[in-house]
């Protein structure tokens, strides 16, 4: 199988040597998304809820470009600068996740994230044939 690079202008352009997502067969690996507004290239700053909402919009855009949606997501990883933000991030995240098909997930606190953001989320999806 050949890997396919997924790229959409509706999510932030990569800020390093990586792709927004890579698809191999039915598997889609979405790189960690941070709260960058793709229209302006600027960081979304403000509340952790606003930052998380932008991250989820960015992932949604990549999923859509690949022909998927949140029901196709089988695994997510959430990286937080401060675990005290867990409940707020979980609230916004949960608004995007279909409860009946919620993916596997871990949430970890990290010492730092790109551009000093407070949240980064990556995802793995399995797309329909």
DSSP letter (8 states) at residue 69: -
Q: What is the mean pLDDT of the chain?
A: 96
User: For position 58, what pLDDT does the model report?
Assistant: 98
Counting Cβ atoms within 10 Å, is residue 22 exposed (0-12), middle (13-18) or buried (19+)? middle
User: For position 1, what pLDDT does the model report?
Assistant: 83
Q: Tell me the whole-structure pTM to 2 decimals.
A: 0.96
- 79-109 confidence digits (pLDDT tens): 999 999 999 999 999 999 998 999 999 999 9
pLDDT at 57 over 70: yes
- 12-44 confidence digits (pLDDT tens): 999 899 999 999 999 999 999 999 999 999 999
pLDDT at 73 over 70: yes
CB 29 within 8 A of CB 21: yes
Closest to 73 measured CA to CA, from 52, 53, 105, 103: 103
User: For position 129, what pLDDT does the model report?
Assistant: 64
CA angle, residues 57, 99, 97, in degrees to nearest 5? 10
Task: List the domains of the chain with CATH numbers.
Answer: 3-126 (3.30.1330.40)
């Amino acid at each position: 199988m050949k890997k396919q690079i997924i790229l959409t202008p509706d999510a932030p352009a990569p800020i390093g040597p990586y792709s927004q997502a890579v698809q191999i067969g039915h598997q889609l690996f979405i790189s960690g998304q941070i709260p960058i507004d793709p229209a302006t290239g600027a960081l979304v700053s403000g509340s952790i809820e606003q930052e998380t909402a932008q991250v989820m919009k960015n992932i949604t855009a990549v999923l859509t470009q690949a022909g998927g949606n949140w029901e196709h997501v089988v695994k997510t990883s959430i990286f937080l600068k401060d675990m005290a933000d867990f409940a707020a991030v979980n609230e916004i995240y949960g608004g995007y996740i279909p409860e009946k098909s919620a993916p596997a997930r871990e949430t970890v606190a990290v010492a730092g994230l790109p551009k000093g953001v407070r949240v980064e989320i990556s995802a793995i999806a399995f797309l329909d044939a």
